[in-house]
Amino acid sequence: MEPILITDVHVHVFPDQLAAKAVPFMAAEAGIEAALSGTVADLLQSMDKAGIQISWLQPVATKPNQIESINRWHEELCSDRIVSFGAVHPDFEDLPGLIRDLSARNFPGIKFHPEYHHIEPDDERLFPMYEALIEEGMIVLFHAGYDIGIPELHSTPRHFASLNDRFPELITILAHMGGYQQWPEVEAELMGRNVYLDTSYVFREIQDEEFLRLVEKHGQDKILYGSDSPWAGQQEDLEHLKSILPSEECIDLIFGLNAKNLLERVTK
């Protein structure tokens, strides 16, 4: 059997000069301390230390005119260790065309952040984008639940349940175990649905018993390891996960096998 390639599906990086300003600013806004500087070099060093073979980058565009420069830079970073999703924005004039362009450039999916984008994920204005994602066989990874730096809330488990009812074939990853600080609602609305949940930035808040109950109810084959680096430490989260997961099979699935199978499903 091939060794499991440990994969972090939820990582953010920035160009060096931007990282030096943006990461401290966003950390101060959220009242947290970042685990890394946000640079690519720091990420690769963290991956080596934690034994992570692959990281998936999840860029966020806060304005439509940022999209191309963000995507071009992330495209250049891709390697055997780095996979990048594409950045989008709901106010972009041709979202289906953008999805087709990203697909042609071999981006396996997009990152969508309802809080930064100020829109509910089940808003009808986004339906043409979802239809294009389904047509192209691409993934959408959503921020889900509260963002500790933003007072608004657009991404509740109920919104994602509504979206899943409308587009059950959409390949969806919900960050932060389906909804940061909304795990009772996640348990009520999302268990067993055709969505993946990632583990990013939950271990500072969720109780181990609650986390393991979500894993058991939703299915260990639909849970993906994600750190939300630079906001959380990759090695620390992996060590915590390994200490609480119930079996080696579960560890292998969540640490990398589920991500490998999902990426193979969408890779052209």
Scanning the structure block, which residue is given the tokens 């230390």? 49
Mean pLDDT computed over 104-128 = 97
Mean pLDDT value across the chain: 96
Please state the pTM of the whole predicted model.
0.97
pLDDT band at 148 (very low <50, low <70, confident <90, very high): confident
Strand stretches in the chain, DSSP E? 7-11, 54-57, 82-84, 86-87, 109-112, 139-142, 171-174, 196-198, 223-224
Statement: residue 2 has pLDDT above 80: no
Statement: residue 239 has pLDDT above 70: yes
**pLDDT for the residue numbered 163:** 98
**pLDDT for the residue numbered 58:** 98
Q: Count other C-beta atoms under 10 Å from residue 19's C-beta.
A: 21
Percent of the chain with pLDDT over 70: 99
pLDDT band at 3 (very low <50, low <70, confident <90, very high): confident
Closest by CA position to 9, among listed 77, 56, 79: 56
**pLDDT for the residue numbered 149:** 79
Give the lowest-confidence range in 26-30, 121-125, 177-181, 245-249: 26-30
Instruction: For residue range 180-196, list pLDDT tens digits in order.
Output: 999 999 999 999 999 99
Is 213 exposed, middle or buried (CB count within 10 Å of its CB: 0-12, 13-18, 19+)? middle
For residue 31, give the DSSP letter: T
**pLDDT for the residue numbered 267:** 86
Statement: residue 197 has pLDDT above 90: yes
Instruction: For residue range 33-92, list pLDDT tens digits in order.
Output: 999 999 999 999 999 999 999 999 999 999 999 999 999 999 999 999 999 999 999 999
Q: Count other C-beta atoms under 10 Å from residue 266's C-beta.
A: 15
Statement: residue 268 has pLDDT above 80: no
**pLDDT for the residue numbered 150:** 83
User: Order of strands across the sheet with 82-84?
Assistant: 7-11, 54-57, 82-84
User: How far apart are alpha carbons 218 and 209 in whole angstroms?
Assistant: 14
**pLDDT for the residue numbered 1:** 59
List alpha helices for 144-233, DSSP H: 157-166, 183-189, 208-218
